[in-house]
């Protein structure tokens, strides 16, 4: 079964727009898990425009499923991992100030850095994943870094899906086969939605986990959080 990790960055964005503690991020995380989410994902960016450093610590006390912390592996990120010890750390190549994670790692250019970083995180007892695009060479190099999983950047799939679903999914099907041969676990995220998730899941062999935030939280405005999580879970099951 493919797990659903709910990214709650957007909840923090709404809270931060007015200050204070409404909506309450801790309660949202508790509710998401009670409603069926298999994990909680956060991406604490340096400018703290949504998830703050304190949020990362506060959520550790209530996440009893899988805690996935995304981010660029700088000194601040390592400090959070050392203190919190989440179940998974997902490394993204975001430069400071970027709006959203919209590109994967160039594992050729950053191979030594990633290998050293992943080794340090593994020593903390944390499962590792790196954000990556569809390229056989990059995937093969990813496997050599010692990473446990890769997270497919699914932005291009979501963009092309309305025009030609089979064409949109084809590169990911090939990448999934490569990952299977390399012994890499597969996660996926970015612009997966109620419209395209079922098709993606049905075509990607070995899909272990999807991390969904923007679309899921947006859908919850119409359907309610509990109903929305159940809708996404049904597509994965």
Question: Which of the residues 66, 70, 133, 151 is marked catalytic?
Answer: 70
70 given a catalytic annotation? yes
110 given a catalytic annotation? no
Residue 70 CA neighbour count, 13 Å, CB half: 30
Beta-carbon contacts of residue 23 (< 8 Å; ≥ 6 apart): 11, 14, 15
Q: Select from 79, 86, 83, 146 the least CA-distant residue to 112.
A: 146
- In total, the chain counts a number of residues equal to 237
50 given a catalytic annotation? no
Q: C-alpha angle 94/217/131, rounded to 5°?
A: 25
Spatial separation of the C-alpha atoms in residues 105 and 94, rounded to whole Å: 9
Question: Which of the residues 50, 66, 190, 209 is marked catalytic?
Answer: 190
Question: Which of the residues 43, 66, 133, 151 is marked catalytic?
Answer: 43
Spatial separation of the C-alpha atoms in residues 204 and 45, rounded to whole Å: 30
Residues with a known catalytic role: 43, 70, 190
């Amino acid at each position: 079964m493919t797990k659903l990790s709910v990214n709650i960055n957007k909840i923090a964005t709404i809270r931060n727009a007015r200050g204070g503690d409404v909506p309450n991020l801790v309660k949202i995380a508790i509710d998401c898990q009670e409603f069926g989410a298999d994990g909680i994902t956060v991406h604490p960016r340096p400018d703290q425009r949504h998830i703050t450093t304190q949020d990362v610590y506060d959520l550790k006390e209530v996440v009893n499923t899988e805690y996935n912390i995304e981010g660029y592996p700088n000194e601040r990120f390592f400090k959070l991992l050392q203190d919190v010890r989440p179940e998974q750390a997902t490394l993204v190549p975001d430069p400071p100030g970027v709006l959203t994670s919209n590109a994967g790692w160039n594992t050729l250019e950053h191979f030594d850095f990633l290998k050293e970083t992943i080794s340090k995180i593994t020593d903390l007892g944390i499962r590792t994943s790196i954000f990556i695009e569809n390229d056989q060479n990059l995937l093969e190099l990813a496997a050599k870094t010692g990473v446990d999983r890769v997270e497919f950047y699914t932005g291009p799939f979501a963009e092309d899906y309305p025009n030609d679903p089979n064409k949109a999914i084809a590169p990911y099907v090939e990448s999934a086969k490569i990952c299977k041969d390399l012994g890499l676990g597969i996660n996926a995220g970015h612009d997966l939605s109620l419209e395209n998730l079922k098709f993606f899941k049905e075509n990607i062999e070995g899909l272990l986990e999807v991390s969904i935030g923007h679309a899921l939280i947006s859908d919850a405005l119409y359907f309610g959080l509990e109903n929305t999580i159940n809708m996404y879970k049904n597509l994965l099951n």
